[in-house]
Amino acid sequence: MITASVLFVDICSFTTISENESPEMVVKLLNNYFDTMVKVIIAHGGYVDKFIGDAVMAVFRGDYHLDRALDASLELRSKIEQLPALSEQFSFKPNVSIGINCGEMISGNIGSVSLKRLDYTVIGDTVNTAQRLQSAAKPGQILINEASYTQIKENFICNKVGETQLKNKQEPMLLYEVVS
């Protein structure tokens, strides 16, 4: 069991690109976006746990893990928003939605012994909640729950979003948007 922060970041409306561009262009764009994200995550002391379609899952451990995850998210959002539109004929402008949660989680090798494929990852309710927060976030939004907000409210400017029922969660959760 470890205590850490988990960040999920998704490229909004990327499915539209997949429907309208060649597979080669999709891969090139995705790799470019991921490269931008990975550099920011690593610069803030996080590590990329996995790529999930057009999303990235990152974990921050150690001192000030939640603050570093939020700093990375703010910088990441800014860098992605500064990227140019895809092309003149297809005006896709990259944007991300981000969810962050912190708390206890299990870390270890997960997978199939039969396939001889195990991946080191983190799992648990903290991780699931971070993903649900990302799913609830609108383009350009960074969402955290109340427990995370109480830990960082002195260092970051946040707006109260309100109570939201997250997918597969029993109780509504009070959410905050991290502004700066």
CA-nearest of 178, 101, 168 to 133 is 101
**Closest by alpha carbon to 163, among 139, 140, 136?**
136
Q: What is the mean pLDDT of residues 3-16?
A: 91
What does DSSP say about strands 2-11 and 46-52: parallel, antiparallel, or unpaired?
unpaired
The pLDDT > 70 percentage for the chain reads 96
Which H or E element spans position 79? helix 65-82
Question: For the segment 81-131, what is each residue's pLDDT rounded down to a tens digit?
Answer: 887 765 555 566 788 999 999 999 999 999 998 888 889 999 999 999 999
* Fold that domain 2-178 belongs to in CATH: Alpha-Beta Plaits (3.30.70)
pTM: 0.91
Quote the pLDDT of residue 3. Answer: 97
pLDDT at 104: 97
pLDDT for the residue numbered 85: 64
Encoding tokens for residue 123? 């799992």
> Would you state the pLDDT for residue 98?
98
* Coil, helix or strand at residue 8: strand
Average pLDDT, the chain: 91
Per-residue pLDDT at 90: 56
Where is average pLDDT lowest: 24-28, 154-158, 160-164? 24-28
Of 53 and 22, more confident: 53
In the prediction, which pLDDT does 125 show?
Answer: 95
Give the SS3 label for residue 29: helix
Domain boundaries, given as residue ranges, for the chain: 2-178
How do residues 51-67 score in pLDDT, each as one tens digit? 998 899 999 999 999 99
Radius of gyration of the chain (CA): 16
